Amino acid sequence: MTNLSNTTGTWTIDPTHTTIGFSARHAMVAKVRGNFGEFSGTFTLDGDNPAASAAELTAMTASIDTRNPDRDGHLKSADFLDVESFPTLTFTSTSVSGTGDSFVVTGDLTIHGVTKSVPVTFELLGVSTDPWGGIRIGFEGSTEISRKDFGLVWNTALETGGVLVGDTVKINLDVEAIKS
């Protein structure tokens, strides 16, 4: 278990060592995985009183990448993220709870102009000093959302039953940040 007093401070997410990823069912049989390549975020931690901590994240929706240009183009269109009208998705924490190395950060997630409260479970992986003297912290986090709750309702029926795109989107966060 990490000494939480060592986590106190303001941290800036390192985008070169962080992944904001997601997965959703495709054709009822497989998962499509992707991530957002452009994002920024900061968080302030209070190791002595985790409830006083706060976080915010902004991702550029046009940076979505599923390793398939045609699918990415469809996800960027008005059928899904509508990146022209909604260039960002954001998360702003409203509460933090937990003890030890496990935390739940609840916050307002805004996608496609719709804001919903979402709990994200995080595990603190550790704090270390890099070779250049920077202090780094690592977290893994995850949550699930209903894309329909955010107005992302496009779909098409399959001949064999079911739909092309599942409603549940799993969000996975692998975060490394540098102390400011």
User: Domains of the chain, with CATH numbers?
Assistant: 4-179 (2.40.128.110)
Distance CA 55, CA 42 (A): 6
Tokens coding 37:
């390549």
H/E element, 70 = helix 69-76
User: Which residues are CB-contacts of 131 (< 8 A; sequence separation ≥ 6)?
Assistant: none
3-state secondary structure of 63: helix
- What tens-digit pLDDT sequence spans the chain (180 residues)? 566 778 899 999 999 999 999 999 898 889 999 999 999 999 999 988 999 999 999 999 999 999 999 999 999 999 999 999 999 999 999 999 987 789 999 999 999 999 999 999 999 999 999 999 999 999 999 999 999 999 999 999 988 888 899 999 999 999 999 999
pLDDT on residue 126: 93
Query: CA separation (Å) from 116 to 1, 74, 76, 145, 159?
Result: 32, 24, 21, 10, 33
User: Which residues are CB-contacts of 159 (< 8 A; sequence separation ≥ 6)?
Assistant: none
User: Which residues are CB-contacts of 73 (< 8 A; sequence separation ≥ 6)?
Assistant: none
- Write the DSSP string, 93-149: EEEEEEETTEEEEEEEEEETTEEEEEEEEEEEEEEEE-TTS-EEEEEEEEEEEEGGG
Distance CA 152, CA 112 (A): 8
Query: CA separation (Å) from 34 to 38, 88, 90, 145?
Result: 13, 16, 17, 15
